[in-house]
Structure 1
């Protein structure tokens, strides 16, 4: 056995024998250190954000911006105090001639620390800190992706079938196109010069790339552009073409490092310039499309969802593309407070790939469904090209756009009110399973609402508008 690794294991045993409980070190940390000598860490502090969020009084602030600024300040203050022992250790070690790590970043939104290329010795020192609850290897979450098929741009005439299916075009006819609402995405980025997206990019404070230095949005895979086209694109492909959009790039073509998603989460709550040096909380979005997912029952992102909810940021997630079996909804879509979206095709049947409930904790999911099979939207290869893609993340983009339409005429709705509005105005007629599926998931047949295949039903922007638009 490597002598240094043996010393590290001895340190674990020594700390475990102390009266004070040792922080939990995940086995993947041990394996990575043994094979590579260093490991990227996520260090979770013993002091969570839960007490700060629970004690925060939203009603005490006259404006949403004031509420965001106040919550951010409270989270930052609590974080500075909680992270001090770790920060002091890292500052001390950074001045040493023997480098124990390459870089680090702290996150007030979740009370965590990312440490790049940590060594055996640093992990042993972190284990000695009572303020540290957990030490694990940084996760690489999966970027949303789907098989794309080229589409002739000349075919793109008028509104797409999916836009008509959810009634968004009929809401536009009454003058509501999502104006005065900011929508955002966390994913692979967005091609901001695309003809369907260039006119409503937010601009200043509308783009951030945690690990890059690009000052303008771009897209490495095409998925982010496609999804944002559905949320807010013009040319007949988007649900809320009058909304302004922003984006944070956390993903490459395959995965999304956990630290970059956390950095994007803070950007969403109070956006910064591309350099991250100046913030403007007035540019915080009202709804976020999350184009990534993790394994089931993985609650690492819940502190962020909880913080966003306190400042009326609606988070929309995919149900995952691991159907047709029951019990296949991915995280964060299996969170109790997530808006989780499954998929249907243009024949009104459930997409076979769509994740279904119940969750590991027996929760009914998804919450609703939307068009997600063979949907045409913008792509990243040129400013005028469109592609056809499928996936529950694409379905989720329809719901994010529908939320933008709702918030345009009901700007003061809380996240809870948005959910009630969405779930009570769905279309439950004419949607069905494919004949090959014929499943009853979690003991709930299709005729019981909500169920573990369609949730409350198919999102319907027109029903939503007719049910919740202000009285004349």
Structure 2
């Protein structure tokens, strides 16, 4: 272990100078425990080791180090990959006034018709995003404890707006004076992993998933993506799935026909594409046979920083509708597994409109979803 620590010490210098980060995963639980013990001792003696962050969910670490070869004796014991950048999935940002209490997307998926049966009560939704506006009047009854992964000593305040918009669609609850989301009695747990530019490292997402698993989230909303496959992120998603957490991810906004972004491309997520008010696939959405469900994502008005509202488009917005719908489903039928939820969501979907529309997945519909759950389980 000392030889490995010496190599890592040298790599920290090179990584800091080049502004690059890496993720290292240990094959052996024993090696990982031994490393963590040695790391704690190093951190007590030197500030140089403080940027090394344990990633317990994948038995790994993140650190400023270039993705170069590991010492030969460790090549079978440690896997190394670049800690890449990942971005939120949103397009237009037009200022907007709220024209009615229930946005079109919430109505379109028939969420209001379900509220006499389920409102998402007691369901915990982790929103890994840019944080949340704690003072927004439509969200104050929905926000629960979260975490800021960028500045650990500061609450996860939103300095971008995207996370607040996502949270509003999922669980806003101010029908008389503001807006109401898909699951107005669900609990939002903000996990701030993205900076004010809407950018994060893959390791930040892994830390966010780790927090969501340890704090027993039922659903995790991941409205972001990248085109590069990360084995470390896949392992984190797989482990979250095995822990019973339903991970909902957006497909991306590049208009690609045959492929979608990661992490939506992983089979253990529920991959979401976007539709418009006519129930047609939005032009911007990435689409392929890997998409599990489509949902409203075009011209969506939701909460914004400073107690305001904003219209945005993107598969991010579609994903938040699906996360809210799953909160309604889980409150109605507690104990469903991630695989069962995916099956219900897909089997209850409404066929998409348009002669060229994909036939491999349909559009989200809450009432059909609840009926399918009652029938099958």
TM tier, shorter chain? Answer: 0.7 to 0.9
Are 2:363 and 1:458 aligned?
A: yes
Deviations 1:370-410 (A, max 9, x none): 00000000011x12x11000000110110100000000110
Distance 1:422 1:40, change over 3 A: same
Kept in 2, the 8 Å contact 1:409–1:469? The answer is no
Match of 1:255 in 2: 199
Specify which of 157, 167, 173 is matched with residue 110 of structure 2: 167
Aligned counterpart, 2:161:
222
How big is the shift at 1:136? 3.4
Is structure 2 residue 125 aligned with structure 1 residue 183?
A: yes
Q: Which residue of 2 aligns with 1:73?
A: none
**1:104 and 2:26 matched:** no
**Contact map agreement 2:90 2:315 (CA 8 A) in 1:** no
Say whether the 8 Å CA contact 1:340–1:366 is kept in structure 2.
yes
Are 2:87 and 1:142 equivalent residues in the alignment? yes
Per chain length, whose mean CA-contact separation is higher, i.e. which structure has more relative contact order (CA < 8 Å, sep 6+)?
A: 2
Query: Which residue in the other structure is 2:281 paired with?
Result: 350
- Give deviations 1:156-206, integer Å, cap 9, x for gaps: x2322111111101001x24211121111101111122111101212xxx2
CA contact (8 A) 1:184 1:268 kept: yes
Deviation at 1:311, TM superposition (A): 2.4
State how 1:171-320 maps to structure 2 within 5 Å: 171-172=114-115, 174-202=116-144, 206-234=145-173, 235=175, 236-252=179-195, 253-271=197-215, 284-320=216-252
Q: Residue 315 of structure 2 corresponds to which residue in structure 1?
A: 392
CA shift at 1:138, angstroms?
2.1
Once the two structures are superposed, residues 11-57 of structure 1 have per-residue CA deviations (whole angstroms, 9 ceiling, x without a partner) of xxxx9xxxxxx9xx9xxx99x9499367432112234xxxxxxxxxx
Q: What SS does the corresponding residue of 1:199 show, helix, strand or coil?
A: coil
For residues 125 and 158 of structure 1, what CA distance do their matches in structure 2 show? 56
- Of 246, 266, 270, 1:335 maps to 266
Bigger Rg over Cα: 1
User: Are the structure 2 counterparts of residues 394 and 423 from structure 1 closer, same or farther at C-alpha, using a change threshold of 3 Å?
Assistant: same
TM-score with structure 1 length normalisation? 0.70
Asked if the contact 2:251/2:287 (under 8 Å) is kept, the reply is yes
Equivalenced residue count is 364
**Equivalent-residue separation in structure 1 for 2:101 and 2:248 (angstroms):** 27
What SS does the corresponding residue of 1:376 show, helix, strand or coil? strand
The two structures have a TM-score, normalised by structure 2, of 0.87
CA separation of 1:320 and 1:293: change in aligned 2, threshold 3 A: same
Return the alpha-carbon distance in structure 2 between the equivalents of residues 175 and 426 of structure 1.
19
Using a 3 Å threshold, how does the CA distance of structure 1 residues 149 and 129 change in structure 2: closer, same or farther?
A: same
- CA, structure 1 residues 183+344, in 2 after alignment: closer, same or farther (shift >3 Å)? same
The 1:89–1:243 alpha-carbon spacing in structure 2 relative to 1, beyond 3 Å, is closer
Deviations 1:85-115 (A, max 9, x none): 5446646766888x87553121221111112
Relative to 1, partners in 2 of residues 1:138 and 1:351: Cα closer, same or farther, differing over 3 Å?
same
For 1:109 and 1:338, how far apart are their aligned partners in 2? 17
Query: Cα–Cα, structure 1 residues 469 and 216, in superposed 2: closer, same or farther, change >3 Å?
Result: farther
CA RMSD of aligned residues (A): 3.0
| 8 Å CA contact 1:237, 1:377 repeated in 2 | no
Secondary structure of 1:177's aligned partner: coil
Separation in structure 2 between the aligned mates of residue 136 and residue 241 of structure 1, nearest angstrom:
40
Secondary structure of the structure 2 residue equivalent to 1:201: coil
Instruction: Find the aligned partners of 1:336 and 1:119 in 2 and give their Cα distance.
Output: 29
